[in-house]
Chains A and B, each alone.
Chain A
Amino acid sequence: MPQVFHRSFNTLSRASVFGSLFILGFVAWAVNVFVNSSYATNQGVVREQPVPFSHEHHVTGLGIDCRYCHDAAEKSAQAGMPPTKTCMNCHQQIWTGSATLAPVRASFQTDQSLAWTRVHRLADFAYFNHSAHVNKGFGCSTCHGEVQKMPLAWQHGTLLMNWCLDCHRQPERFVRPRDEVYNMDWHPPADQEQQGRELVRKNGIRSLMNCSTCHH
């Protein structure tokens, strides 16, 4: 009976067995790159908004505290988006004729809400609670980055699970004194590890790594 395959197929098959490792490796690498890319995570993507609200101007320029607008951050899972009334508290007095602010005035007059574009979209099966983190000494800038330098807001982290777990594994690396939570210019001191461990102990911070902490 003649050979079905030509002798050269031996080499070809060895090459493809060997090569498949590279191919699999490449696929794994490509998937990893894609999943972590800003295309998939929206990390760093600046969002168009109905009103080009600048955190940079309001926070750095005017020194307004985060909680003036995001007033539920200490009380609730959500930080809260300000009602139009919060904008109008000031803008009834200043920049009353500004064309940029026309949608805000229109909203206030017509009682129609402004529709902001969501910047941080967490997966539906993950439950994050602002108050749990803020009250234990995790600052806004730890997750949201330097918001005080953002003319239009973007997403600072990847919001991937390993990004959350980086901190959940080692909370002492990120925790800060509670009165520094809303300080957007806070940077970890040189002895963060030591100070962090002290804060973890004092604030009763647990390294919660079990699934139902966030998934229920």
Chain B
Amino acid sequence: MSTGAPHWRDVASKDDAERLRALAETEFPGGVEASPIDRRRFLALAGASLGLAGLSGCMRAPAEKIVPFVHPVEGRVPGKPLYYATSMTLAGSATGLLVESYEGRPIKVEGNPAHPSSLGATDVFAQASVLGLYDPDRSKTVTYLGRPRIMGDLAGPLREALATAKHGKGLRILTETVGSPSLIRQRGELLERYPEARWHSYEPAMSGAASAGARMVFDQSVRTHYDLSKADVLVALDADFLGSGPGHLRYAHDFAARRREPLTAERMNRLYAVEPTPTITGARADHRLPVLARDVIHVARALANALGIGKWTDAPPDAATASFVQALADDLRSRRPGTTLVVAGDNQPAALAALVQAINRHLGNFGGTVLHTGVSEAPEDAGLSSLVELASDMREGRVTTLVNLSGNPVYTAPADLGFADAMKRVPLCVHLGLYQDETADYCQWHIPEAHYLEAWGDARGHDGTASIAQPLIAPLYAGKSALEVVGMLSGEPGRSGYEMVRETWQAHGSKQAGGFETWWRRTLHEGVIAGSASPTIEPRWRDDWQARAGLNGAAPARNAGPLEIVFRPDPTVFDGRFANNGWLQELPKPLTKLTWENVALISPATAQALGIKAATEGPHAGSHGEAIAPVVELTYGGQTLRAPAWVFPGQADGSIAVHLGYGRTRAGTLGSNIGFDANRLRASAAPHFGPGLDIRTTTTTTTLACTQLHQSMVDRQPVRTADLATFLKEPRFAQESAHTEGGDRRHPLTLYPDDHPMKGPQWGMVVDLNACTGCGACVVACQAENNISVVGKEQVARGREMHWMRIDRYFSGDSANPTAHVQPVMCMHCENAPCELVCPVEATTHSPDGLNEMTYNRCVGTRYCSNNCPYKVRRFNFLAFADYATASLKLLRNPDVTVRSRGVMEKCTYCVQRIREAEIDANNRKRPLRDGDVITACQAVCPTRAIVFGDIHDANSQVAKLRESQRNYGLLEELNTRPRTTYLASVRNPNPRLETR
């Protein structure tokens, strides 16, 4: 594929570019009518509003108070933020963080560069977690049957229940995956005290297949993690290791490191993906094979056969799969041992994980790209079986006291377990949670949970590295952590989480130089416990692994017949725990670009066969984001529900994917009653996918807010891409189309003299499209840093979302299995900025250091600038989107960025507040600014380091070097805007034998 390959954004527009062009030429898309107000009325209103606006300016500023401390706080300088190291745990795996605290309020999360699972980056969930902390819908008090109580009221009934039950018989604890060494220690103590009690764990979005698979092939329990930096060829078997799961930030970093500058044939890795539904990993893949989820293991068996591992006599796969597998096997075989990597997905059965261990062993990857460690102190992932057991025990009345720690099983448990009904038979149910959620409804007692930024804890990263989680703020609502509740059950009420965590690490810390206290302080400062990564081991291979994995004999015949349903955690609200987080709801899903909703993803061919139409533009749509999607009826396992159908290229034919996390009833103001609850279709026998889905069309449609149709740039080659061979032949392929003078693209044709005053550093940015995975962390980081408002589904549907940066997604190639391209787009800070020329009040101007400044207090809201911006990166406050009223949200704001009001334009500022702060700081230290002094919010969070910012006139700066790269090009450069943000073209590394796409 060369740069000339046409890029398209959705199925409809691929076949209908003409219609789109007509749409672009229509000034007012459908739905805009002539104003019902006549001229006189308009003049009267305009006069009145002018008068009132003038009057509002006459108000005097209110008198303010300054409230200093009574005693000075050590290390605190008023007006300067402090950073504290902590860590956030999701599904049992930790990401190390540095959290910015301003006057005692945590306001921004950054990654901890010293933490191996972060390396300075975070995912969208960690970025949005500060909003979760200040969520006004959080539960604020202990309740009994919905009425407020105090913590002490619970102690009596609990003591009574524990005293009557002999040795804790009937006491059950239910948690999510436990990764905290302290909680595991507490669990041990509790079970020692109450030997008859049972501890269950359930992680709705994880299966525990990796550990189960490892147990089949090794004679001990083993955890597996990967070293992607050594991998030349990677194979993802339904594994989204770049986008989710433990260590994905590190994996994305190591993967992209091989694709950034300097880009050579030797450094560039190659990624194959086999998956039923498009993921971030699949979108980055050089070759992607869409197959049914149930067929992934068949592909793996065919691959193992081709490599000579198994001698299975399976029915041969179809021609496309066969040639894919053969080419893949040859590619893997041609590499040196330890330079390839095959990864099995967590949603697949344990047998696949076992088989993939065998393939990696055969390829000599153990100790190279595949690392094994012991399971440290953590209990093994039990998968769903533990929850199934608990449900049946509850139904049979064997449970007298159930303590739910953090999870929300009433919502997340598969429907056939009847978990909520079973809970009704438990005499005493206690729920610890951040919200009064669905599970709290079924529990007599509810305890507000301390957010992770409010509580002491500890956790382990993907490679076993331990870190202490320290609180940034005292609990806002007197919440308790899971540690403290377990302490209460163990008969140690009132013991703080702080004491328990210190006790856990006492033995380890006392052995370190300087004694425990020195070690403790240093560890809190660093955020990582030095040398705590689990040592790698060489577990003994079992020769009977095939039998243990159930892989003996031929595979069951593949029946193409029934439709398959695939359940996946949602990319932005996960298993539903983030459903009330506005930032995550409004973050467009990485590939579908849908917001505030989940859908049933259907491949174009399957949709056609079933008579399901693709979504169409709504009456307010045009270039905006309203999509009218048909509603279908999904029947599976005897359960039926209605869901919007979304025809999506790249989805495997015959497979329908639904995302969990929506359709919640007690999530809060934002998260309740949106989307549909896919858990209602889930069966405990096959919680991740299964055949036998029945789908029926209906006559109803529904409106979805999808940012995909925004900001069309058809035919302009926004994303420039080539394969590796083309790149090696014509390294400047991306620069050919620029309209330039004498072939030098930095001197564009112009009539005007180059008279911009340029003083001081000249700021610029380069985005490497070969590294970017489109995960969206930068979008949320920008939102957190710059006080960007959430606008809601209806406004997104009108194209009024406020994100300063967006990630455009394009497809190229065949609509059954296209190649996806992603491109972060923010203000380009054009040297010849079209927006500046048309502002009647000089609210947008150019600074001597090359910023396109937006001065909110000057803006009168004509929106001429946005009209004239070719990149469509300016955002207008059509309504008063900023929440001035909610007290807890005021604590969230970045004090260095103005909160914008209605009628004001805004856009990416290159994080000017960080630039100015860095300049002043360098001045105060009497030294010049250095490269790396200014890190923008999007740059800081990026796991793949795709975004680089700095002074383009400093020849030694990283950004200046990248601008000299052969892959460098500017978006819409031919318009002569001279953008300061430029891109590095994407280069794919396809296998020449498979190059048909």
Contacts and interface: CB of A to CB of B under 8 A. Distances in A.
B70 interface: yes
B923 A136 contact: yes
Interface string B852-882: 0101111000000000000000000000000
A76 to B, nearest CB: 4
B924 A132 contact: yes
A115 B916 contact: no
Nearest to B67: A113
Contact of A125 (B71, B857, B909, B924): B857
A124 B60 contact: no
A114 B78 CA distance: 16
A212 B65 contact: no
Interface string A92-126: 00000000000000011001111111100101110
Contacts of B920: 129, 131-132
Contacts of B897: 216
Contacts of A2: none
A127 B855 CA distance: 12
B923 A111 contact: no
Contacts of B896: 127, 216
Given A117-B65, A132-B923, A132-B924, A78 B78 contact: yes
Interface string A2-44: 0000000000000000000000000000000010000110100
B924 A135 contact: yes
B22 interface: no
A216 B912 contact: yes
Interface stretch (A79-87, A143-151, A164-172, A179-187): A79-87
Contact of B79 (A78, A83, A115): A78
Contact of A80 (B71, B78, B899, B912): B78
Given A78-B79, A111-B70, A216 B65 contact: no
B427 interface: no
Contact of B851 (A115, A125, A129, A212): A212
Interface string B61-83: 10111111111100001111000
B759 interface: yes
A contact face: mostly helix, strand, loop, or mixed: loop
A131 B916 CA distance: 12
A212 B70 contact: no
B512 interface: no
Contacts of A131: 920, 924
Given A131-B924, A132-B920, A113 B898 contact: no
Interface in A180-216: 204, 206, 210-213, 215-216
A118 B66 CA distance: 6
A86 B72 CA distance: 8
B847 interface: yes
B839 to A, nearest CB: 12
A74 B759 contact: no
Contacts, number: 125
B697 interface: no
A211 B72 contact: no
B210 to A, nearest CB: 46
A75 B853 CA distance: 27
A77 to B, nearest CB: 4
B79 A76 contact: yes
Contacts of A125: 856-857, 898
B66 A115 contact: yes
Given A78-B79, A135-B923, A210 B848 contact: yes
B711 interface: no
Contacts of A123: 857
A175 B899 CA distance: 33
A49 B389 CA distance: 67
Nearest to B847: A210
B67 A215 contact: no
Contacts of A47: 63
Interface string B32-70: 000000000000000000000000001011011111111
B717 interface: no
Interface residues of A, number: 46
B916 A216 contact: yes
A8 B857 CA distance: 47
Contacts of A81: 66, 68, 78
A121 B64 contact: yes
Contacts of A34: 58
B302 to A, nearest CB: 58
Contacts of A40: 60
B845 interface: yes
A212 B60 contact: no
B65 A85 contact: no
The B interface, classified by DSSP as helix, strand, loop or mixed, is: loop
B898 A124 contact: yes
A72 interface: yes
B857 A113 contact: no
Contacts of B845: 210-211
Given A210-B847, A211-B847, A212-B853, A84 B923 contact: no
A83 B68 contact: yes
A30 B264 CA distance: 70
A175 B77 CA distance: 26
B927 to A, nearest CB: 11
A131 B80 CA distance: 11
B731 to A, nearest CB: 37
B847 A107 contact: no
Contacts of A215: 853, 855-857, 898
B957 interface: no
A152 B924 CA distance: 31
A34 B979 CA distance: 44
A216 B913 contact: yes
Given A212-B916, A215-B898, A75 B77 contact: yes
A103 B248 CA distance: 56
A135 B926 CA distance: 9
Contacts of A213: 916
Contacts of B924: 74-75, 131-132, 135
A77 B924 CA distance: 11
Nearest to A214: B916
B66 A83 contact: no
A108 B920 CA distance: 35
A142 to B, nearest CB: 18
Contact of B65 (A72, A118, A132): A118
A75 B70 CA distance: 21
A175 B856 CA distance: 30
Contact of B70 (A39, A107, A210): A107
A84 B77 contact: no
B67 A115 contact: yes
Nearest to A69: B68
A167 B501 CA distance: 55
A76 B102 CA distance: 13
Contacts of A116: 65-68
Given A131-B924, A215-B898, A216-B898, A82 B855 contact: no
B75 to A, nearest CB: 12
A72 B923 contact: no
Contacts of B68: 80-84, 113-114, 116
A111 B70 CA distance: 6
Given A42-B61, A112-B70, A118-B64, 14 more contacts: A77-B79, A81-B66, A82-B68, A83-B69, A83-B70, A84-B69, A85-B71, A108-B70, A115-B66, A124-B898, A129-B916, A131-B924, A206-B760, A210-B851
Instruction: List the 7 closest A-B pairs by CB distance, nearest first.
Output: A78-B79, A76-B79, A210-B847, A118-B64, A81-B68, A211-B855, A83-B69
Interface of A: 34, 39-40, 42, 47, 72, 74-78, 80-86, 107-108, 111-118, 121, 123-125, 127, 129, 131-132, 135-136, 204, 206, 210-213, 215-216
24 contacts: A40-B60, A74-B924, A80-B79, A81-B68, A83-B72, A84-B69, A84-B71, A85-B71, A86-B72, A111-B71, A114-B67, A116-B66, A117-B63, A117-B64, A118-B66, A132-B924, A135-B924, A206-B759, A211-B858, A212-B847, A213-B916, A215-B857, A215-B898, A216-B916
